[in-house]
Amino acid sequence: MTDYPTEPADVLEAAADLLESKGWQQGAFDNAVNPDDSTAFCALGAIRAVTGYSLAKRNYIRDGDYALYRERYRYTLQASVALGAKVGLDVPAWNDRPGRTAEEVIDVMKHVAKDLRNRGILHE
């Protein structure tokens, strides 16, 4: 089983790294059926990918593994709430705002991760 980050700061940092390595986009979570095949993600799509949420959701639909789905959803929600608190909007609206850049999204995600660590915030 793949290890996924669970702390909001770790999730946000991993998501920012994914955006740097794979690419950033607006208007969709990712651009492939399987997140592993995606070549770009929005901010929330990257969070979903690094927590394993997208794969857990597909497995839940197929196999009924609700416990794993619920766990991955919790990690996704915690990180997206922390990011949303910083940007003052829901994450998809912030990500998709005209004029937004990949660099800005990545920088804010890393800043929020660092701030959470500095404040000693673990699971919210």
Q: For the chain, 124 residues long, give each residue's pLDDT as a single digit of tens.
A: 458 888 999 999 999 999 999 999 999 988 876 667 888 999 999 999 898 887 677 666 667 777 888 888 889 999 999 999 999 879 999 999 999 999 999 999 999 999 999 988 665 5
pLDDT at 123: 58
> What's this model's pTM, rounded to 2 decimal places?
0.87
> Which residues make Cβ contacts (< 8 Å) with residue 91, sequence separation at least 6?
43, 44, 47, 80, 83, 84
| Helix, coil or strand: residue 24 | strand
pLDDT at site 1: 43
Let me know: does 50 contact 5? Beta carbons within 8 Å: yes
Q: What's phi and psi for 17, nearest 5 deg?
A: -65, -40
